[in-house]
């Protein structure tokens, strides 16, 4: 295993420990956080209530009457020292989804902000598979943009918007596929929507897992009804 930076392990209050990875590579930070999360889950430590790995962190929630922060910090340290390259093999066998997306919404504004024509932005944004980093609010798929897409500014002031299932949103170096409905305050910009049936899969622990990859396939407005309500094409999911 290449030389790696020791993560920062810190208690947050009396019921949580946060592990933050600081390796130079975004991919490595994410992979280490999720590999550690899988190890903690598999260990079945009595007193651990929940785990959540995001882009470069793992938050572990514990019951203060069954564990204490120093024991948990020591356990996490032991797991990190015992980690081997094989632990990360799971990322090679993740699923790939082909997601039809009709680009639109704020896409002209986003493209203009980074000096591109809308069609150039669409080509760039759909140029390579992107990984699901974690599941956000309402089950949304939190992803990173293709590396060639420059940083996208958030709205200067958050707005209240009606969410629709299947919307693709963008902010910073991240993009997301939303499953939420209802009103929410957001600083993200909307760049399109998929007509495919993604809502049916949002509660499945076998679909849209962290590590799975999404290939965005841009579609024309005329093709929307052909794709509407159809299941997402998936390769390699362990169903």
Partner 1 sequence: MTMGRIGTAAVRVVDAFAATVQDLGRTGYEQLGVNRSGASDTFSARAANILVGNAVDAPLLEIADSAFAFETEDEVVVAVTGARAEVTVDGTVRLPRWEAIRIPASRILRIAAPEAGYRTYLAFAGGVQADTLLGSVSPLPARSFDNPVPAGTRLEIGPRRGAPLPRGAGESLAPLAEQLLSRSTIAVMQTAQAAMFADMARLYTEPFTMSPRSNAVGARFDGATPVRVDDTEITSRSVPIGSVEIPSSGELIALLRGRLITAGYPIPAVIARADLDAVAQLRPGAVVRFAPIDEDAARWRVFHQESALRRLLELRENA
Query: Which residue number, 131 or 135, has a Cβ lying nearer to partner 1?
Result: 135
Query: Which residue number, 55 or 224, has a Cβ lying nearer to partner 1?
Result: 55
Looking at the DSSP bridge assignments, the partners of residue 182 are 163
- Strand locations in the chain, DSSP E? 8-11, 16-20, 48-53, 57-62, 96-103, 130-135, 141-144, 159-163, 167-171, 174-177, 182-186, 189-193, 213-218, 233-235
Question: Does position 205 bind partner 1 by CB under 8 A?
Answer: yes
Question: Does position 198 bind partner 1 by CB under 8 A?
Answer: no
What is the crossing angle of helices 69-82 and 26-43, to 10°?
A: 110
Query: Which residue number, 169 or 219, has a Cβ lying nearer to partner 1?
Result: 169
Question: Does position 238 bind partner 1 by CB under 8 A?
Answer: no
Number of residues near partner 1 (by CB under 8 A): 44
Which strands form 16-20's sheet, in the order they lie side by side? Answer: 8-11, 16-20, 57-62, 48-53
Residues in contact with partner 1, shown as a per-residue x/- string from 97 to 136 under the rule CB under 8 A: -------------------------------------xxx
Question: Does position 14 bind partner 1 by CB under 8 A?
Answer: yes
Query: Which residue number, 59 or 116, has a Cβ lying nearer to partner 1?
Result: 59
Member of 42, 49, 159, 233 binding partner 1 (CB under 8 A) = 49
Residue 52 in 3-state DSSP? Answer: strand
Query: Which residue number, 17 or 216, has a Cβ lying nearer to partner 1?
Result: 17
User: Nearest-CA neighbor of 118 among 105, 100, 99?
Assistant: 105
Member of 126, 140, 169, 194 binding partner 1 (CB under 8 A) = 140
Question: Does position 180 bind partner 1 by CB under 8 A?
Answer: yes
Question: Does position 54 bind partner 1 by CB under 8 A?
Answer: yes
Question: Does position 77 bind partner 1 by CB under 8 A?
Answer: no
Query: Which residue number, 18 or 124, has a Cβ lying nearer to partner 1?
Result: 18
User: Nearest-CA neighbor of 126 among 165, 198, 175?
Assistant: 175
Question: Does position 159 bind partner 1 by CB under 8 A?
Answer: no
Contact between 107 and 122 under an 8 Å Cβ cutoff? The reply is yes
What's the token pair of residue 53? 């790995």
Q: How far apart, in whole angstroms, are the C-alpha atoms of residue 85 and residue 60?
A: 23
Which residue is listed with tokens 């007509």?
A: 195
Residues near partner 1 (CB under 8 A):
8, 10-16, 18, 20, 37, 49-57, 59, 61, 64-65, 68-69, 134-140, 142, 172, 174, 180-182, 184, 202-203, 205, 210
């Amino acid at each position: 295993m290449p030389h790696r930076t020791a993560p920062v392990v810190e208690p947050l209050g009396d019921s949580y420990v946060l592990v933050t990875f600081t390796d130079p590579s975004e991919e490595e930070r994410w992979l280490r956080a999720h590999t550690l999360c899988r190890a903690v889950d598999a260990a079945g430590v009595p007193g651990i209530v929940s785990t959540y790995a995001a882009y470069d962190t793992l938050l572990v929630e514990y019951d203060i009457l069954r564990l204490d922060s120093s024991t948990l910090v020591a356990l996490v340290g032991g797991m990190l020292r015992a980690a081997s390259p094989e632990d990360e093999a799971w990322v090679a066998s993740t699923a790939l989804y082909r997601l039809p997306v009709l680009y639109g919404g704020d896409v002209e504004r986003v493209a203009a902000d980074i000096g591109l024509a809308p069609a150039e932005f669409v080509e760039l944004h759909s140029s390579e598979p992107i990984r699901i980093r974690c599941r956000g609010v309402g089950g949304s798929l939190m992803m990173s943009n293709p590396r060639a897409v420059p940083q996208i500014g958030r709205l200067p002031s958050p707005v209240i918007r009606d969410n629709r299932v299947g919307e693709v949103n963008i902010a910073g170096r991240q993009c997301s596929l939303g499953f939420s409905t209802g009103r929410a305050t957001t600083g993200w910009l909307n760049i399109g929507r998929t007509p495919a049936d993604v809502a049916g899969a949002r509660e499945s622990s076998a679909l849209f897992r962290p590590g799975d990859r999404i290939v965005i396939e841009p579609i024309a407005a005329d093709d929307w009804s052909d794709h509407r309500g159809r299941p997402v094409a998936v390769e390699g999911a362990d169903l």
